[in-house]
Chains A and B, each alone.
Chain A
Amino acid sequence: MSIANTFYNVFVKRNSVYVTTIFAGAFAFGVGFDLGVTSFWDRWNQGKQWKDIRHKYVEAESD
């Protein structure tokens, strides 16, 4: 109960804090979710994407 109370007092009591928390939380979740999905995606499609083969051709350019 006390955790819920602390949560209420810190984040919910003042509307300005509440709204800011929601916006910041949405932003943080968006970034985190994207990172998570991207790391899964990159593992699933390992070696197939352009970023996996790019180094072969960029190195050839530089020398």
Chain B
Amino acid sequence: MLSRLPQGALKNAARNVNASRSAVRARFASTTSGSSSAFQTFLNSRAALASATLATVGSVAWYAHLYGSLPFFPEVHANSPAEEGLHPPQYPWSHKGLLDSFDHASIRRGYQVYREVCAACHSLDRIAWRNLVGVSHTADEVKVMAEEVEYEDGPNDQGEMFQRPGKLSDYMPPPYPNEEAARSSNGGALPPDLSLIVKARHGGPDYIFALLTGYTEPPAGFEIRDGMNYNAYFPGNAISMARVLFDGLVEYEDGTSATTSQMAKDVVTFLNWAAEPEHDERKKAGLKAVILFSALTAISLYVKRYKWSYIKSRKIRKCCLVD
């Protein structure tokens, strides 16, 4: 099966020899030989075509990535770029690298910030008390925290609903009974559930950190309605949530000084954990997968070369192939 390849090649070569023997000089290249023609041959080659295409596509993609639009296609926007929200800077999160786990002390502080500040307005529907066990708190601590909250349960054997203290299996209590209550307490704006907010926003943790720490006075000429607040990172720049984090707002049990940016960092780390509780295991499994698959790739490359070495080093005797 494989012997066909060199066989065909040899036939071609044989034909070449025959052709040059006859008076007509047959040329199998599109150009004459010579130093300039090497360049010509390159120009006509597929490699040249492929690399020119690659260079074109690459530079257009690079331009689009850098400037956000295609070159030579001017666009008109009613908004200024600032109104779509300033891009957040990239922060050096402790869990940013491919092999970096969450900083669990930060998750613990972040939970405290969520509980003491954000929980007044934002629910955290998808996190149950039990999820904190072994992540930021011990089981005994979480049991005590859950018991402080009353949950409705039932019906009992008289068919009535009753109140009971929370258990590990209960989910985090919402601040408002329903969306309408949440809106009417917040000037019509719904404070979104924070369970998946880090995944749900472009820029992820960087955006939320920038949002929480990015409140400023509106620039001159920017009209802002009553009850709205200026934030350059929020799309539209006017957000219903006022600045909530101020230096010294909470008191950390581990003695970390509670500056605005420290609290923002901790609460965002906590929310990042809430959105990706599998994060640490995922990165560890990724490390294992990379090691195993690169070993398997190396082995299969070696085996391929080993098996093919016999086929590739055969000698084919010319005498017998020319007919």
Contacts and interface: CB of A to CB of B under 8 A. Distances in A.
Contacts of B137: 57
A44 B105 CA distance: 16
Contacts of A52: 104
Interface stretch (B23-31, B94-102, B113-121): B94-102
Interface stretch (B180-188, B213-221, B283-291): B283-291
A58 B141 CA distance: 9
Interface in B247-306: 254, 280, 284, 287-288, 291-292
B135 interface: yes
Interface string A41-61: 100110011101110111001
B138 interface: yes
Interface residues of B, number: 23
B138 A45 contact: no
Interface residues of A, number: 18
Given A37-B287, A37-B291, A44-B99, A61 B140 contact: yes
A44 B291 CA distance: 16
B284 A37 contact: yes
B103 interface: yes
Contacts of A58: 138
A48 B105 contact: yes
A61 B100 CA distance: 29
B138 A41 contact: no
Interface string B77-119: 0000000000000000010000111111100100000000000
Given A48-B94, A57-B141, A41 B284 contact: yes
A53 B287 contact: no
A33 B292 CA distance: 10
A53 B138 contact: no
Contacts of A34: 288
Given A40-B287, A41-B287, A61-B140, 20 more contacts: A33-B288, A33-B292, A34-B288, A37-B288, A38-B284, A41-B99, A41-B284, A44-B100, A48-B101, A48-B105, A49-B101, A49-B280, A50-B104, A50-B134, A50-B135, A50-B136, A53-B105, A53-B108, A57-B138, A61-B138
25 contacts: A33-B291, A34-B288, A37-B287, A37-B288, A44-B99, A45-B99, A45-B100, A45-B101, A48-B100, A48-B103, A49-B280, A50-B134, A50-B135, A50-B136, A52-B104, A53-B104, A53-B105, A53-B108, A54-B138, A56-B254, A57-B137, A57-B138, A57-B141, A61-B138, A61-B141
Interface of B: 94, 99-105, 108, 134-138, 140-141, 254, 280, 284, 287-288, 291-292
Interface of A: 33-34, 37-38, 40-41, 44-45, 48-50, 52-54, 56-58, 61
